[in-house]
Amino acid sequence: MLMLAGVTPFGLHRLPVIYRAFGTACANTYIIAFTKKRKQMKITVTRIAKKSDYTIGKMMVNGKYLCDTMEPTWRDLRKEGKIWGKTAIPEGTYQVYVTKSRKFRRWLPLLWQVPGFEGIRIHCGNYPEDTQGCILVGWNKHHGILCNSRAAMTLLMNEITAAYGKGEKVEIEVREL
């Protein structure tokens, strides 16, 4: 595997070679290209409560509970159709890349190639209206609210950074209970 030593916003790490992605919805996004098969970090979001305004889930990293999640309302996309910013992404497995978000002006996880969706990120937020189609992290201690979202985001970014430091790719599986 081709590796470079470099400084990321998360510290000094050995990094996989990074190529610029052209011809995609994220034309200024840098993606990480790996040259051989290697271990991976697996993030799993299991949706446990589908409410009228939001969906609550549990996030596991490599099989260990990390935090809770909040997404927009789950809809059967075959029957109801998508409502921009208010529809949870379809169940499936997606690659995760950490890229600089123009909207949030910070490095955040981006879910790659989600069918019918663009720019889906994992980020901080406390209320259903904060999701805008993305996955929020925190702890669901009150009805319809995530608490300590920044602390949960820091824990997740530390896990992802450690995985990249070991040369692992990162993927997320979103599934039903």
* 17 compared with 97, residue with greater pLDDT: 97
Question: What is the DSSP secondary structure assignment for residue 90, as one 8-state letter?
Answer: P
pLDDT at 81: 63
* 110 compared with 7, residue with greater pLDDT: 110
Sign of CA dihedral 38, 27, 156, 82: negative
pLDDT at 61: 97
Alpha-carbon separation of residue 133 from 39, 65, 67, 83, 124 (angstroms): 29, 23, 19, 9, 13
Beta strands in the chain (DSSP E): 3-8, 11-16, 18-20, 30-32, 40-50, 55-61, 64-71, 92-101, 106-112, 122-123, 135-142, 145-147, 169-176
| Residue carrying structure tokens 């990293």 | 61
Q: How far apart are CA 132 and CA 139, in angstroms?
A: 19
| pLDDT band, very low/low/confident/very high, at 22 (cuts 50, 70, 90) | very low
Q: How far apart are CA 156 and CA 144, in angstroms?
A: 21
Give the lowest-confidence range in 37-41, 81-85, 133-137, 173-177: 81-85
- pLDDT greater than 90 at residue 48: yes
Kindly report the CATH class assigned to 38-176.
mainly beta
Q: What is the mean pLDDT of residues 150-172?
A: 95
Q: What is the mean pLDDT of the chain?
A: 80
pLDDT tens figures, 91-130: 999 999 999 988 888 899 999 998 878 889 999 999 988 8
Token pair recorded at residue 116: 């019918």
Sign of CA dihedral 113, 117, 119, 121: negative
Question: What is the DSSP secondary structure assignment for residue 120, as one 8-state letter?
Answer: -
Contact 124, 149 (CB under 8 A): yes
| pLDDT band, very low/low/confident/very high, at 42 (cuts 50, 70, 90) | very high
* Domain spans, the chain: 38-176
- pLDDT greater than 80 at residue 28: no
Q: What is the mean pLDDT of residues 21-50?
A: 66
